[in-house]
Structure 1
Amino acid sequence: MILFIKLLLAHLLGDFIWQPNSWVADKEIKKHKSIYLYVHILLHGVLAAIVAGEVSFIPYAVLIAVTHGIIDLIKLNFQKAKTKRTWFVADQIAHIIILIAVVMLYENKGLIYFWQNNEFWILITGILLVTKPTSIFIKTIISIWSPESQNSHQDNSLANAGNYIGILERLFILCFILTAHFEAIGFLLAAKSIFRFGDLKEAKDRKLTEYVMIGTLLSFGIAIIAGLILQALLLQLP
């Protein structure tokens, strides 16, 4: 685990802290012809070797550098102005997966390590449950109520913002329960209520207020139940 943390630190330094915007702009224009692309690749390899602190890790640092360059080249050649955000997320996920794979390879752990790890399966199932599946469940349950004013206010909000807010709040609740910080759930609910109060007051619509409250309480309730079940299952593991 500590090796992954070190490599993640190296990645953050190389991709964000020590990569000027001028490098990024040059790479986007010149792509594989940009000298900064290769400086960037070399930087990642050097940083990985340094943070690992082992001579035996040097070949793996080279592997990280090469794969980092390949991933960046794919992003540079396929991203468009409208898809930059998508490619940025995909790029970062790919880099993290490579780091995990390198750590497992270096420590002689194959995919079987995760396959046989009961804690991994419990956590990944719980995390997945409180994301999109719960959003669909809540949307289906409260679809029997459809405040007329809700549609009139949708134009003033970000696309799918409510869905993403719900997913994030449930993930936070899951983390709070698993780390035994139950009091933080109250602060989260209070914070959301404060931010929502202005919108609901301005709308002056009792049906909309009730609609939002039902959705919020369902979201919090499902997340809390899921967190408690996860906690109980994890405590039962040997």
Structure 2
Amino acid sequence: MLIFIKLVLGHLIGDFVLQPKKWVLHKQANKITSKYLYLHVLLHFALYMLLLWNLSLWTIAFVVAITHLAIDILKLYANEMVKKKSIPFFIDQILHILVIYCCAFYTDLYTHTLSLFENLDWYLVTAIVFVTYPASIIMGQVLEGMSNQIETDHKSLHNAGKYIGIIERLFVLIFIVIGRWEVIGLLIAAKSVFRFNDLKERNNRKLTEYILIGTLVSFGMAILAGLLYIS
């Protein structure tokens, strides 16, 4: 496990801390011919070796670095075919972590992976999944009749309310799991403060009631999921 953690740390430092914007732009413009692409991979190899601090593990560092080069090249060309640039970015990061995982546990990869799944807390996984998109869809159905009476604010970010709800429910679930109920009260208070000025300026009773009901339903579902998990 320590090898895996060290390789992940090296990846994070190399990809995010020690990669200037200049390198990123140069790679995007020149792709496989960019000198910074190879300098970036060389830096990763050096970081892996430094963090592992064991010359006998150089093959692991080398394989991870070379694979990093191949994945980065694929990402550079995939960027041109996809409008939403976040998709290649996240796929790129997932592939890097998968390669690191496979290299770190290559001696007992199947056994270790099987052990991870066997020891996974499926109750918690189910609760986490529930408070994300399923809870959002349920809220949409519950509040559908009310939302038709609310004027749409075109200045709002697209789907901002949905993502805020998902994040707040995840926080509530986490706080319940770790037994910090008092923090949930602080979270509700903080959200109320942020909403107060917005609602005060609009002076819209229907909107206030709609947001209040939505907030209570959202927190209620997260609390229910948390209680079912810890019971």
TM-score, length-scaled by structure 1:
0.86
CA distance in 2, matches of 1:104, 1:212: 48
Equivalent residue for 1:235? none
- 2:193 match: 194
- Separation in 2 of the partners of 1:98 and 1:45? 14
Q: Which amino acid aligns with 1:104?
A: F
Report the equivalent of 1:102: 103
Aligned to 1:184: 183
Once the two structures are superposed, residues 200-230 of structure 1 have per-residue CA deviations (whole angstroms, 9 ceiling, x without a partner) of 2222222211111111111111112212333
1:219 aligns with 2:221: no
Change (3 A) 1:131 1:56: farther
Decide whether aligned partners of structure 1 residues 38 and 100 sit closer, same or farther in structure 2, where only a CA change above 3 A counts: same
Q: Which amino acid aligns with 2:119?
A: N
Over residues 52-107 of structure 1, what are the superposed CA-to-partner deviations in whole Å (9 max), with x where a residue is unaligned?
33444322222221222222111110114842233223322332333333333356
Residue 160 to residue 29, structure 1, CA distance change in 2 (3 Å): same
Query: Matches of 2:34 and 2:212 in 1, distance apart?
Result: 53
1:149–1:205 CA contact under 8 A, matched in 2 = no
Which residue number in structure 1 is paired with residue 85 of structure 2? Answer: 84
Q: What is the CA–CA distance in structure 1 between the aligned matches of 2:175 and 2:155, rounded to whole Å? A: 31
Equivalent residue, structure 1, for 2:117: 115
**Per the alignment, do residues 227 and 50 of structure 1 end up closer, same or farther by CA in structure 2, a change over 3 Å counting?**
farther
Does residue 158 of the first structure (1) align with residue 119 of the second (2)? no
Q: How does 1:36-75 map to 2 (within 5 A)?
A: 36-75=36-75
Deviation at 1:174?
2.0
Matches within 5 A, 1:140-151: 140-151=141-152
CA–CA distance in 1 between the matches of 2:230 and 2:101?
Answer: 25
Contact 1:174–1:227 (Cα < 8 Å) also in 2: yes
SS of the aligned residue for 1:111 comes to: helix
**Which residue of 2 is the match for residue 236 of structure 1?**
none
| Distance of aligned partners of 1:140 and 1:62 in 2 relative to their CA distance in 1, 3 Å threshold | same
Query: Structure 1 residues 177, 51: CA separation in 2 closer, same or farther (over 3 Å shift)?
Result: farther
**AA at the equivalent of 1:99:** I
Which letter does structure 1 place at the counterpart of 2:16?
F
Summarize deviations over 1:9-50 as a string: whole Å, max 9, x none.
Answer: 211110111111111111111101111111111222222232
Q: Helix, strand or coil for the counterpart of 1:83?
A: coil
Structure 2 residue ranges without an equivalent (≥5) = none
Does structure 2 conserve the Cα–Cα contact (< 8 Å) formed by 1:71 and 1:95? yes
Determine what percentage of the aligned residue pairs are the same residue. Answer: 45
